[in-house]
Structure 1
């Protein structure tokens, strides 16, 4: 009886935990690509979001650590304390609060983002935000208006300040859910690599309250969020493998003491935070040293992020193996770009900073977060996705499901039906052409045969004098001296 009561109470609690979410609400898809932004004519890569009334369009970079969405003030790049490189080309736009009819400043606001990878200072306020759904660059955008949400106006700093905060306490997700615009605090991200540091062409996307089912494939892997790290999405790395055709077996593990005998001890699996705050991966010191030794890498700071650079071109790849076996591979064009700069950051031996699987890592995966369930999911990203398929994702309902393409039999999969139909039609066409050619040929041959027969017949008649020439007639004879009856005579030769 007690066990029955236990199961009944558990069922009621589960029903109460899910009935609060309206799972029929459609998600909000916000694309990530380069566009014109307010306050500058420089196209910048980011999430298509506006702020204020009337809307001032921005390109906001998604942050998994920041909670408050922030915008650059008009004075951000003219402030003497700002050190952001190429500031006017990198802010993601500028926000002029004085021209917004709905902006109101918040005094004595306690920020949720004290611990950042790079800093900026600013004032806080509340205003309307405009989330634009823009599936294709050639099409117009539809708008979802989010009213009276907390924002930050960055005034000085050393990082790009235009950021949409998707951290544990994201004010955007809270406001979207509170205003009934999404089914719950779920979110999905594909960062893409259409920005300058990645030098790619594929754009990314955010999905608030859902995910894009066509953007990932294969098995979906679930992980718990970490409550004690700046970036709550943390995984455990058990191996890193360089795929190199120049070595035996075609690969070498950066954890392998036999491959790197000068290591003091075999590296152990390590924790790494998933972050969008930087592009290169930050790995443990010994792993970084093994990478340097195997590929003859050297220090470089061309991008200002201490990425390592190879002395010569390398066509191999690098695979990161997580504790549950999920393997994420950085292809050769990511591992060593056009100038041989790698996505691996140099590391000081005494560094105590976290290990990071950063934007270079996120460019290969699709990330989905359920903040209500305190869990997140990773899957292999579909790099070139021709269709956008946002799906509502109700919190605590389990792993997202990738779009399943219709099942096709072997004939359709391999294009054999098309080949057969094409062969039949082609064969009919060839047969018709051949038939016409043969008929024309036979007709021509028959005509020539008839002509030859006529010629032969004529020649034979001439020889046998059987051909009658045209008859000749004499005119009426002259009147004879003696009148006698007459008639015309036909003379035969």
Structure 2
């Protein structure tokens, strides 16, 4: 009897260890979306990314939207006879619904501008479903069917946007969630985990460096690794909410931020929104002047030359809390040297991307900040990291690293996983994994000979889903495209509202451990 029980236990251990070892094998590589190699936007210029929408595919250039779940494209209605002749190209190309045989119409709704509405952004979109291809033909990137497409005509957002948030959208009620692009990639095993990394690149950096967007991993050549991890904030519409502990500059001994704040990271917004007192400190240090007409800090050529001679930079110290460890993100002056064009201004004008916030709901680190900062977001562990961005030249190849999904507990056994020591740790080879499995089995047999009569107590899965949901937005499907949308309701009590669109958070397991398991994939030959 003892011999039979011994054999059963050994077989169980062998099967489970093999299952654990194989759980990290066969995962897909991260997907790196190549930049379009264009610099676009009326408030930039910014490095855009090329995707194709519809059948036959229509190419559009888009900006990543960290808080959005749908893909926004500019409709032909967005270019009128009063605009510039090359308007379609300036707006990253148009998408014509009537030219796509796979378009499925929904209705006109208000865009899901949860946090952006607090900054004064409002817009409507014509929602529907269509085929979405990442990149261009011949690059081997996936094509996804029945993706949520929002057609815009407003100039509030001059370029289209690629939503990279995994939350599904609900039209009319909560019973029919429509999956996001990131969720579809993960659900169809096209990426190893529900995660992404992004840095905006730099038009004014020498040499100019395009942005980097990777799904399911990150490119180690684009940032300086650190050991600080940020947990998601409780409000899922403001999940990327680090603490700005301090802001300083090399051209003044006076801190630019006197009191720490929490600021939302949002790539949909170009500017950095800070308290009025902090803006006054910037004015004093840099000699900035506020323009009431454009409600921005304009910079003329003479003043620009003066700033170039001073060679100023600004350092943001970012941490999980107001005190303790932090990451220093250094922004040179070139990252603040942006150009406004039509339709924001009649003539091209330099501006400093700083905005005056009225209250803490407006504190935002926008796309200007993401020129110098590299962001990695892991939705399966509910955490993210912020690092100093790097700007490799075209001779430096990508070095893609997987973000593995969290391990699962099977009958009380947790699969082993790599603990990263910085971003350069390499994954175990298949032979090494097999060796570990065999060694572990032998060790298990030796241990089992002494304790095989003991009954192991089943442990609780530390990755149980949290089941959070996002607040809703009240919209009116009778609104004309580009008209004035309905006001955003408060977060409390939204379930009783006559909702037309809701955005929900997919269940996200609680984060366990440090950075999470990572595995180096390969040194890609792809160059930006």
> For residues 387 and 30 of structure 1, do their structure 2 counterparts lie closer, same or farther at Cα, with a shift above 3 Å needed?
same
Pick one of 58, 63, 66 that aligns with 1:64. Answer: 66
User: CA separation in 1, counterparts of 2:109 and 2:336?
Assistant: 43
SS at match of 2:148: strand
Q: Aligned-pair RMSD on alpha carbons?
A: 3.9
Q: Which residue in the other structure is 1:203 paired with?
A: 210
| Structure 1 residue 387 corresponds to structure 2 residue 397 | yes
- Encode CA deviations 1:268-293: one digit per residue, 9 max, x unaligned: 21011111123231111111111212
The partner residue of 1:369 within 374, 377, 382 is 377
| Equivalent residue in structure 1 for 2:228, among 221, 239, 244 | 221
What is the deviation of 1:204?
A: 0.9
Please name the residue that 2:199 is paired with: 190
Q: In the alignment, what sits opposite 2:331?
A: 330
Equivalent residue for 1:287? 278
Q: 1:86 to 1:299 in 2, by over 3 A?
A: farther
Alignment of 1:403-442 (within 5 A): 403=424
2:85 is the counterpart of 1:94: no
Are 1:26 and 2:29 counterparts?
yes
2:317 aligns with one of 321, 325, 331? 321
2:8 maps to which residue?
none
- Superposed CA deviations along residues 174-214 of structure 1, whole A, max 9, x for unmatched, are 1111222112211111211238xx89721012111111122
Q: Which digits, 9 at most, give the CA deviation of each residue in 1:225-268, with x for residues without a partner?
A: 22326442111111111112xx6xxx44224xxxxxxxxxxx32
Shift in alpha-carbon separation, 1:114–1:400, aligned structure 2, 3 A: farther
Offset at residue 392 of structure 1 (A) = 2.1
Higher-Rg structure is 1
1:59·1:162 contact (CA, 8 Å) conserved in 2? yes
Partner SS for 2:272: coil
After superposition, the Cα gap between the structure-2 partners of 1:357 and 1:16, relative to the gap in structure 1 and judged at 3 Å, is farther
Which deviations, in whole Å up to 9, do the C-alpha atoms of 1:453-488 show, x marking residues without a partner? xxxxxxxxxxxxxxxxxxxxxxxxxxxxxxxxxxxx
Q: Which residue of 1 aligns with 2:129?
A: 126
1:178 maps to 187
Partner residue in 1 for 2:147: 149
Helix, strand or coil: the match of 2:142? Answer: strand
Structure 2 CA distance for aligned equivalents of residues 242 and 325 of structure 1? 17
Q: Is 1:358–2:366 an aligned residue pair? A: yes
Q: Is the 8 A contact 1:299 1:308 kept in 2?
A: yes
Task: State the shift of 1:90 in Å.
Answer: 3.9
Moved more, 334-343 or 47-56: 334-343
Residues 308 and 346 in structure 1, CA contact (< 8 A), matched pair in contact too: no
* Shift in CA distance, 187/237, structure 1 to aligned 2, threshold 3 Å: same
CA distance in 2, matches of 1:218, 1:178: 29
| Residue in structure 2 matched with residue 166 of structure 1 by the alignment | 164
Which consecutive unaligned segments of at least 5 residues does structure 1 have?
Answer: 1-14, 38-42, 135-139, 256-266, 406-493
Report the equivalent of 1:275: 266
- How many angstroms apart in 2 are the aligned matches of 1:243 and 1:78? 46
Quick one: structure 1 residues 65 and 90, their matched pair in 2 at CA, closer, same or farther if it must change by over 3 Å?
farther
| Partner Cα separation in structure 2 for residue 296 and residue 111 of structure 1 | 37
Unmatched 5+ residue regions in structure 2? Answer: 1-17, 169-179, 320-324, 340-347, 407-416, 427-528
Which residue does the alignment assign to 1:459? none
- List, as ranges, runs of 4+ consecutive aligned residues in structure 1 with deviation greater than 4 Å: 15-23, 83-87, 107-115, 335-342, 350-353, 397-401
- Cα deviation for residue 23 of structure 1 reads 6.4
> Is residue 297 of structure 2 the alignment partner of residue 307 of structure 1?
yes
Of residues 292-301 and 25-34 in structure 1, the stretch that sits farther from structure 2 once superposed is: 292-301
Contact 2:109 2:125 (C-alpha < 8 Å) held by counterparts: no
Residue in 1 that maps onto 2:255:
253
